[in-house]
Amino acid sequence: MAFIPHTDDDVRQMLATIGVGHIDDLFDEIPKSLRAGPLSAIPPAASEMEIGRLMSERAARDGRPLNFIGAGAYEHHIPAAVWAIVTRGEIYSAYTPYQAEASQGTLQTIYEYQTMIASLTAMEVSNASLYDGASGLAEACLMAVRANRRSKSLRILMPRAVNPAYRKCAQAIAGNQNLRFEAIGFDPASGQTALDALERHAGEDVTALVIQQPNFFGTLEDVDRLTDWGHQHGALVIAVVNPTSLALLKPPGEWGEHGVDIVVGEGQPLGVPLAAGGPYFGFMTTRMEHVRQMPGRIVGRTLDLDGRPGFTLTLQAREQHIRRGKATSNICTNQGLLMSAGTIYLAIVGPEGLERVASASLARTAELVAALTQIKGVREAFAAPRFHEALLKLDRPVAPVLEELARRGIAGGYDASADYPELGHALLVCATETKTSGDIATYAAALRAVLGTARAA
Amino acid sequence: MSNNVPAELRYTQSHEWVRRNPDGTVTIGITDHAQHALGDLVFAETPEAGRTVAAGEACAVVESVKAASDVYAPIAGTVLEGNGGLADAPESINTDPYGAGWLWKLRPADAKALDALLDAGGYQKFLAESAE
């Protein structure tokens, strides 16, 4: 059944009115080679009952592994109240409604969200959220090009220690808009972005420098020095941060002498469950001087004609329903539902709760690394301080080890070998507050058994 | 409709005005007609000094509560300065479009290019025709 309330008669009448014989004629201007054609690979429709059964069978195959994978999405405890509230009818929508000001509750939620994220990152203004952290970084790079009016080069310095998926996404979105990304290497001993690799670009026209904290390896960057380097060389500085880590680490608004210019990150750790690729939500904050270059919606607090406080969409002239092709972004819808979950999560755990989550995650990861590196053939790749993730080096290829662990009900980490061939057999592991000492012992025992049964390569 | 069109300026059909300064430079802004059509202006983005612009190139943005519009360079040249005062007082484009509300100063690539623009009479005629 098609969910289109037009009868065949309606369609015939409309086509006759505009003098077109067939609906397909309306798509004439799209070349034949670009059209999708019939969906021949899709099997015939199954019944709801059959689909339900198929899905539960496949879900059962996934099992409930003991999870030690991070790499950009993190398993945290989500208080039951978060999704009980988010799924209420008043909130259960991904969108800012039309006639937004008629939905004061929705706008107030967004306003509270903006306030929390701006405060967490120590920046002046936040938008109403973006798709996810990766596309958020692409948006930040495009924004930097608009905001850095001294720079003409469209060149972004992109450390290799930034999440590889984020780098690919930024290339896919911004690469076609003529931005050029220059890879910046990392120190093989510390895993930190190398200042001498940056120095090679001194004196060049650089639009922006990206800094991820903690970086993809979980390692803490020397953010003050990197930020100051960027500013001294005429670049804007874009921070990519994990929101949980900000309960412990210095917020990007305070990095270096002046703080960074744009902050983005993945909001998933704040109350959004792990899912295969999402939906998650991205966050973005900046300084007031750049607010007109920021993509996305912004909710402001104002007074109505009677002097009562109220909430309203503001700075809409930057957005595509007004600015059309010259809008700050063509993908600036927000992830309202996930953003609401993040707001409620932050409201429930509070600053203290978030700090406890961050501290526990840091401690669990330290415990995990200590346990795993006692095993022969396992060592930690880098010596620098880390947050809740660490890169391990194994004495043999990672993929077969992870397969063997999966058979024992353990999701043992992220195989980083393909992204970083120079690191050899690299395994990225993570433990959050959800892992107990018993879980860590279980993982260590399983890894010891797996590495002990087969010979090292 | 307010239609103040000073006689000593030159105009474009996209509603910019150009004033010839004694030192050979020109000052550019949007006309009284344009500011009135746009409504209360809340922000103006002016071009940075040193930028070379072609005639017809978008080089400033004026933003009202409900719209943002490009302002085009009436003639080619090099930007000397943008009006920094607009950052704190964008409303001066509304209150004084030919004075404090100027947008940027330009050194023309060719001063004769000004002669091709509309004079006050021509612009008034254009406005009258567009209103019909």
Residue B36 lies inside a defined structural domain of this protein: yes
Report the CATH number that the domain containing residue A97 is assigned in CATH.
3.40.640.10
Domain boundary among A344, A367, A398: A344
Write down the pLDDT at residue A374: 97
Q: Which residues of B touch A (CB under 8 A)?
A: 43, 45, 48, 63-68, 70
Tokens of A282: 């991205």
State whether B68 and A322 contact (CB < 8 Å). Answer: yes
Q: Is residue B128 part of a domain?
A: no
- Whether residues A193 and A281 share a domain: the answer is yes
Tell me how close the Cα of B48 comes to any Cα of chain A, in angstroms: 8
Whole-Å CA distances, B19 to B16, B77, B102: 10, 14, 10
pLDDT band at B72 (very low <50, low <70, confident <90, very high): very high
Rounded distance between C-alpha atoms, residue B124 and residue B17, angstroms = 12
| Number of structural domains found in chain A | 2
pTM for this prediction = 0.88
User: In the numeric block, which tokens belong to residue A412?
Assistant: 């043992």
Domain total for chain B? 1
Task: With CB atoms and an 8 Å threshold, state whether A322 touches B43.
Answer: no
pLDDT digits (tens, 9 = 90+) for A84-105: 999 998 888 877 777 888 889 9
Tens of pLDDT along A107-136?
Answer: 999 999 999 999 999 999 999 999 999 999
Task: Report the CATH number at residue B93.
Answer: 2.40.50.100
What is the C-alpha to C-alpha distance for residues A166 and A152, in angstroms, rounded to an integer?
A: 24
Confidence at residue A38, expressed as pLDDT on a 0 to 100 scale: 84
pLDDT at position B94:
96
- A122 and A248 fall within a common domain: yes
Bridge partner residues of A338 (DSSP): none
Question: How confident is residue A3, by pLDDT bands cut at 50, 70 and 90?
Answer: low
Mutate to test the interface with A, among B45, B71, B72 (most CBs of A within 10 A): B45
Which amino acid, B24? G
Distance CA B18, CA B28 (A): 5
Q: Which of A321, A344, A367 is the last residue of a domain?
A: A344
Q: Name which of A288, A292, A293 to mutate to probe chain B: the one with the most chain B Cβ atoms within 10 A of its Cβ.
A: A292
The reply to whether A416 falls in a domain is: yes
Contact between residue A289 and residue A125 where contact means Cβ atoms under 8 Å apart: no
B9 by DSSP, 3-state: which?
coil
- CB-CB: which of B45, B48, B68 is closest to A323? B68
Rounded to whole angstroms, the Cα distance separating A72 from A67 reads 14
Asked whether residue B1 carries a pLDDT value surpassing 60, the answer given is no
- At residue B67, the pLDDT reads 81
Q: Which residues of B touch A316 (CB under 8 A)?
A: 66
A339 and A314, same structural domain? Answer: yes
Q: What is the mean pLDDT of residues A19-36?
A: 89
Smallest Cβ–Cβ distance between A318 and the set B64, B66, B68 belongs to B68
Helix axes A164-174, A133-147, angle to 10 degrees: 50
Average pLDDT for A68-82: 97
What is the model's pLDDT at position A14?
94
Same domain, A318 and A433: no
Of B48, B66, B70, the CB nearest to A317: B66
Could B67 and A318 be called an inter-chain contact, meaning their C-beta atoms sit closer than 8 Å? no
* A100 inside domain: yes
Q: Give the number of A-B residue pairs with CB atoms closer than 8 Å.
A: 20
Nearest CA in chain A to B48: A149
| 8-state DSSP, A251 | P
**Average pLDDT over every residue of B35-53:** 92
The answer, yes or no, to whether residue A5 has pLDDT greater than 90, is no
In a domain, A15, yes or no: no
Q: What is the pLDDT of residue A39?
A: 84
The reply to whether A268 and A144 lie within a common domain is yes
Distance CA B26, CA B8 (A): 13
What pLDDT is recorded for position A278?
84
Residue at which a domain ends, from A295, A312, A344:
A344
Interface test mutation site (partner A, options B53, B65, B72, max chain A beta carbons within 10 A): B65
Q: Which residues contact A418 (CB under 8 A, 6 or more apart)?
A: none
**What b-and-e string marks burial along A348-367, b requiring 16 or more CB atoms within 10 Å of the CB?**
ebeeeebeebbebbbebbeb
In a domain, B78, yes or no: yes
Q: Is residue B84 part of a domain?
A: yes
Residue B119 lies in a domain: no
Across chain B, mean pLDDT equals 93
pLDDT band for A338, please (50, 70, 90 cuts): very high
Domain span at B38: 10-113
Q: What is the dihedral of CA A239, A179, B60, B19, to 10 degrees?
A: 130
| Same domain, yes or no: A313 and A381 | no
Residue A29 lies in a domain: no
* Whole-number average pLDDT of chain A: 93
CATH number for the domain that contains residue A427: 3.90.1150.10
How many whole angstroms separate alpha carbon A194 and alpha carbon A213? 14
**Predicted pLDDT at A125:** 98
Considering the domain architecture, whether residues A284 and A419 belong to the same structural domain is answered as no
Report the percentage of chain A scoring pLDDT > 70: 98
Pairwise CB contact (< 8 Å): A292 & B45: yes
Are residues A213 and A179 part of one domain? yes
* CB-CB under 8 Å, B48 with A150: yes
List chain A residues with CB under 8 Å of B67. 317, 322
In terms of Cβ atoms closer than 10 Å to its own Cβ (0-12, 13-18, 19+), residue B96 is middle
Q: Are residues A275 and A201 in the same domain?
A: yes
Domain interval for residue A179: 80-344
* A454: pLDDT strictly greater than 60: no
Q: Are residues A139 and A256 in the same domain?
A: yes
Instruction: Using pLDDT thresholds of 50, 70 and 90, give the confidence band for residue A316.
Output: confident
Cα distance from A321 to chain B (closest Cα, Å)?
A: 10
What proportion of chain A, given as a percentage, has pLDDT over 90?
81
Confidence of residue B66 (pLDDT cuts 50, 70, 90): confident
Q: How confident is the model at residue A457 (pLDDT cuts 50, 70, 90)?
A: very low
User: Which phi and psi (to 5°) does residue A264 adopt?
Assistant: -135, 165
| Nearest Cβ partner for B67 among A150, A292, A317 | A317
B131 within domain boundaries: no
User: CB of A392 within 8 A of CB of A372?
Assistant: yes
Assess if residue A47 is contained within a domain. Answer: no
Question: Exposed, middle or buried by CB within 10 Å (0-12, 13-18, 19+), for A50?
Answer: exposed
According to the model, what pLDDT value does residue B116 have? 94
Residue B92, in any domain of the structure = yes
Instruction: Read off the pLDDT of residues A144-189 as tens digits, 9 standing for 90 and up.
Output: 999 998 899 999 999 999 999 999 999 999 998 999 999 999 999 9
Q: Is the pLDDT of residue A455 over 60?
A: no
